[in-house]
Structure formats: structure tokens, C-alpha cells
Structure 1
Amino acid sequence: MIKKAKVLVASYTIPEEAIRILRSQFDVRVCEAKKDAILLNIPGVDGLFWSSHLRLDDEILDKAGPQLKAVGVMSAGYDHINTSELQRRGIKLGNTPIVLNDAVADIAVLLCLAASRRIVEARIAIEESRWSFDNGTQWMLGQEISESTVGIVGLGGVGVTIVRRLKGFNVNRFLYTGHGEKPEGATIGAEFVGLDYLLTNSDFVFACVPLTSETENMFNARFFSLMKRTAVFVNVSRGATVNQNDLIAALKENKIFAAGLDVMTPEPLPSDHELLKLPNCVITPHLGSATKKTRENMAILTAKNISNALNGTLMETPVVW
């Protein structure tokens, strides 16, 4: 009898279809997404299904053993994975880009509209009995996305999808910046510009960059000082791309109009955090990919990446191969 390869699924909340794909081919064990449980269950596995925000560190890799051949991470971002260490050990890595673009873009647009129309501040006014028809015609005025200029920092799959979503809002101009001009930019009618130009001309700025040593704290005091005082900042990338103290200061001092954040530092955010006290900041708890369909698709793609690698074929969405 041929011995089946072993796969550890480090979470009890993975959609069942992904588990079925793996169990049809491999000896699968499932454990809690906590480090002590992972360390207990990982020795001897050939594949690892990783859906945790925990860092996949050397201790876990050492405990797994030299036979570990493949890691599938159920996320588009992989800043919590030491890719150079996986490469050194000859371990393949796959992630789940593309399948979450629609869901993340939806959250980005939601945050942009909620922040620009002062949804948090308006709800507070109702709760504090400050909603009155005596407030006049200038009460609770927000910013309009119609005829605005929208800037995308990092025109990847999510950035492109955000532009496509906003086409129906009568946006006047789309700008984007990054390492270089992209063919997708011309396809969607977006102009490639320098970062400073984008900041000084945009009414809405969307952060869509991966977290790297280059982008960590990229959105800082200088960044916010170049934005219009009427501009809205939206972050759906990673919390650590933003210098959070600088963002808080910019919001408190009205250097920018508002912010919408789906990611922050730390996560989970403490309930008494300063960001939650700001009426011009809309926050969602990292819900970008949180739809049933998207999470199922992410899980299935992760399972297929692991399956392909253990069967000697290329992962569908490889990062390290």
C-alpha cells in the first residue's frame, strides 16, 4: 500500500469543500489555529494549510521536519510568512490572490462612501439627540465622489477592481502610482503619475499595496500633509503600511477630511483605541474578504495549491516554487 502524504489544516473553521479536496488524496489532520496546537500536530506533515495570522516561524518549520514540501496560505498577503526561509528549505508556497478582489473592492468602496458622507459622525449625532431640522442647510455636509479625482496607490488586482466599481459613480479622473506604468492602467482609463502628484490632486486616496520593507509606514505625516484637507484616505492593504499616530494626528487636526480603515495595528484593535474615538474615521474589523463565497473560494484554492505541489505539479497561484 502506498503511504498517503500528510497534510495539517491549522484551523477548525475551514470550509468543508476544501477539507474534502484534501481528504480525497491525503491523510488530513485538523487542529486549532494556535501555536501550541500547531506545534503538537505538525511533526511529520508533508503539507500545511495556513489560515492563521500567526507568523509561520522557524520553530514551526523545524518542528514539522525536513519532509515538509508545501504550504498553502489562505490569504493574498503573505507578510507573515518568511518566504526566503521557505525557499532555503525547498518548501513551495502558494497564496490566494484574485479570488478576493471583488469582496475587498466592495469594502473599499463602502468605506470611501461611509467616510466621505460622515456616517459615524451622523450616527453619533442621532444617539446624542443632536439631529434637528433647526440645524440648517449646512449641517453634516460631506464630500461627493461624483466628478472627483480618485487616486490608487498600488494598482494590483484590488486597485483595478476598485476603479471598475467606481466607474459608475461619475468619477472625473483616476490616477495611480507604483513602481511603473501598467497595461491595466490604460485598459481601465487610469493615468500613471508620481506619488506626490497623486496626493495633491486626489479627492480620494486608496491604499492597495502589499506590506513589505518598502511600504511599511509608507502612509505617514508627510503623505497626509500632501493630501487635500477635503480628501478621504482608505486603507484595505495592511495596517502596518500606515504610521497610525500620524494618521490620528491628521484626522484630529483636520489635515484630511476622513479615513476609512479595514486594517489597522494591532489587530484585534483594543476597544479603547484612539482611532475608535475619532468621528471622522470609519473602521471595519478586517472584513475585506469576509463573504461566504469568497472565503470558500480562497479555501478551495489553498487546497488545490497544496494538492498540486504534493502531486508534483505547479501550484495554481505560486509564490515560492
Structure 2
Amino acid sequence: MIRVGFFGADEFSAGCLKAILPLRFHTPKIISHLDVITRSPKLTGRGLQHLNEFPVAKFASANNVNVLRAEKNVDFGNLPDYDLCIAVSYGKLIPSSFLRSLPYGGLNVHPSLLSQYCGAAPLQRALLNQDDVTGVTVQTLHPTEFDRGAILARDSYKIKPSETYRSLAEELSRRGGKLLYDILLNRMYDCNIPGYITLPPVLPLSYAKKVQPSERQINWSQYDTFKIVRNFNTLGQLYTFKRYKSRKSRNGELKLRRVVLDDIREANGYSFSAGSIPGSFIVDPANKQRLLIKTIDGNVSAGIIKVESLGSVSGDRMSNPTKKMFGGIYDNVFVSDK
């Protein structure tokens, strides 16, 4: 049996932890001791009044698994002795000195088919790039770099057209947990056992850079309906702009007011009037609370509309604005600032 330190943070890591719990508490009992190590919870919200605990810590506590904290490199020296560590979406590089102290080093579950999408946002990049296939990889932990370990196992997955960030994360967490379970059960982490193998990369090296706030903006002249809905399903709220005239404007100068759109769906079946351009909007004929917006190949509908300086408005109010809302600019067209 082995002593395991499991490093994690989010729901993805909690799903992988769930998969290996039977090896700690049931037969066959492969893990003699299991700790979950995560970072300290942060104060969030207005006035920093709410302590926001990491999902993996909540799951561990609910399942009688001890939770420890490690923020700085010095904290790793105070951890118990382990045979193996597992890092899943931990968010920090495990120190090489700590890895060297472990008889079997470390494992990592990464939600991509490495070497594709190394880095911080593999799930988002697979969805935003409209890939047909992605997957999950279990690799060894490299002592000095992220996502440069030896590949021990992988599983590919065909992305559904309706896929969301949450559904993809849950599916790959389940699959990654299954791979991790099998590796622990069969001692595939031990390079000294007969039959130990590593796998070559199946895709070229690429980097999944962190999503930038500007990627949430809708470019109406370029984005089709599928891309807008996929971006919403991946990133959550998207934003656009509406032209308006400020009271302080001189010479009729127009400015842009930011509009946040939420609950975005495909809404084909309605034809805008001739001459309407992508970004044109009207109240949704099926629901006055929603807004129907023309795309380059169809329509989308938004159920929640938040206008800068004005707050939440209904689709009906957005389509029939008062002069105060946009300074008498009634063109009913969203635009980009790009």
C-alpha cells in the first residue's frame, strides 16, 4: 500500500479524487493514507466577508479525508511523508525538492491530449477553437515545468455540438479519474515494475493560454450563431456595445455603452427586415423579456441584458429605449469596439 498526497483545487480535481476514494476505503485497499492538500481559502464578496473554500476541500471534508494547506514552498517541507503525490488543477508547480523526496514522484491529470494544449486553459481552448476531439492525459510530474512529464495513459473524447465548459469538465474529470484509478490499481506509476511503459504524444505541442477578458466580446460582423453560443457556453456572460450620445457630447460625437448578455441561445426561425445588419436587435417575439439579435447566419436570443450605468433591462425596454438610455440614438444595433 502507498501513502498519497492529493493536490487540487476545483471541481475537476474533486471529480478525480472521487474516483480514487474506493482505493482508500474499500477493497482492494491500495492507499494506506490519503491527504488532500490545497491552498488557503480566500475572502471574497463585498467587504471581503465570505470565506470561499475550494471545491476539492469541501468534497474531501464531506468524505472524511484530511485537508492540509500549502501556499509557499516552505509549506511543502511541513507536509507528512508520502510515497506518491497526485496534482490535479492545483494551480502551482510542485517544488522539485518535494518531488525528489517521494519514492514514486508525482502524477498529474491534464484535460487535453498532450502535448496539445499545455497550460492554463485546455478546456476553454478546445471549445473556443471548435475542436471535434479532445481528451484527458495522465502524466508524471516534471520537476521544473508544467505539462512536460512522461505520458502514462490517455483517453480521447468527441466534443458534442451542444458541449459546455461544465459538461466537458465533468466528462473529462470522470475519464481522468478512471485512468488514475487504473494506474494506482496496477502500479503503473512505478517505473521499476515489468511492463512499465510511457506513451508518445499524439498531437503537436501547443499552448492553451489563459482566457483574456476581451475574448468575451462578440464580433457581430465575423461570429456566426454557433460561435456565439459556443463562446457563451464556454465563457459565460459575453459583452457588446451600443452607441449613445452623451449630454456632454460635442458636435454630435457618439460614444459606446457596454452591454452584457447572458442566457444566450440559438433562436432561428425569424427573419429580420431587409437591410438589417448583424448585431441588429428587436424584442424576442416569443418572450418580451428576451432580446432577439441578428447574426451573420441566423439569430441568437439573450435572456438577461445588463446595460452599463443602467443595470438590468428587459428585451422590450432595450428595443424601445427612452431618450435617457442612449441619448436619442434609436438605431437598435450592437457594435464592436474593435
Q: Which has the larger radius of gyration?
A: 2
Larger proportion of helix: 1
TM-score (norm 2): 0.30
Larger proportion of strand: 2
TM-score (norm 1): 0.32
